[in-house]
Amino acid sequence: MSRPAPAGRSRRDPEGRRRQIVEAAAQLIAEVGVAGLTHRLVAARAGVPLGATTYYFTDLDDLSAAALRHLTDRMEADLEEWAAVLNASADLPATLAELTAEYLADRGRALLETELYVAAARRPELRPLAMRWDDGLTRIIGACADPAAARAVAIFLCGVMLYALVRDEPVDLPALKTSLRTLLT
């Protein structure tokens, strides 16, 4: 018969601790990038002993991949929200421009996607994660527009994201709407 944990002590929760470490790593990737990620930083952010990060993850590549998978799952949830909004839209280019501007307003989230692309460019095993966003974006736009135009828009929006991050200023919404209207026509 198992006994309850003494007051003030929680039962071991390996999956909860692993999730805590992954979420801490994901937050840090937005702040310091994949290249700046260390076990020490992750342990401090997660509030776990340093050895916990190496217990659950064989090395930093394993830890960063887990964090990027976690982020990709969240990005896919965002895409499903976009799909619902785009499907209900009477003006696809304007709605897509507004969704993109809102997305880019959260600089940390946009930096995470950029970190994913850079990591995937260097580590082939991460490329499927990066392509999940691109392919998902193409899929949801393609439900409302020509598939070739949807692919062109997805590629264009990746460039828009980099442009906005480098300039560190809000995207020019009227110019974005005009560009998207041209690509979707």
Task: Write the CATH number for 41.
Answer: 1.10.357.10
Determine, yes or no, domain membership for 7: no
Determine, yes or no, domain membership for 87: yes
Q: Give residue 47's domain range.
A: 14-184
Determine, yes or no, domain membership for 8: no
Q: State the average pLDDT for the chain.
A: 90
Q: What's the pTM value of the predicted model, to 2 decimals?
A: 0.80
Determine, yes or no, domain membership for 52: yes
Is 6's pLDDT higher than 60? no
Q: How far apart are CA 125 and CA 149, in angstroms?
A: 28
The model's pLDDT over 129-154, given as tens digits with 9 standing for 90+, comes to 989 988 999 999 999 999 999 999 99
Closest CA to 179 of 157, 158, 161: 157
For residues 4 and 71, the model is more confident at 71
The model's pLDDT over 79-125, given as tens digits with 9 standing for 90+, comes to 999 999 999 999 999 999 999 999 999 888 888 888 888 899 999 99
- Which whole number is the average pLDDT over 33-40? 93
Determine, yes or no, domain membership for 5: no
* Nearest 10 degrees: Cα torsion 23, 26, 30, 32: 100
Determine, yes or no, domain membership for 148: yes
Determine, yes or no, domain membership for 53: yes
- Which whole number is the average pLDDT over 53-73? 93
Please count the CA atoms within 13 angstroms of the CA of 36 that sit on its side-chain side.
10
Determine, yes or no, domain membership for 4: no
Structural domain count of the chain: 1
Q: How far apart are CA 170 and CA 179, in angstroms?
A: 16
pLDDT of residue 11: 61
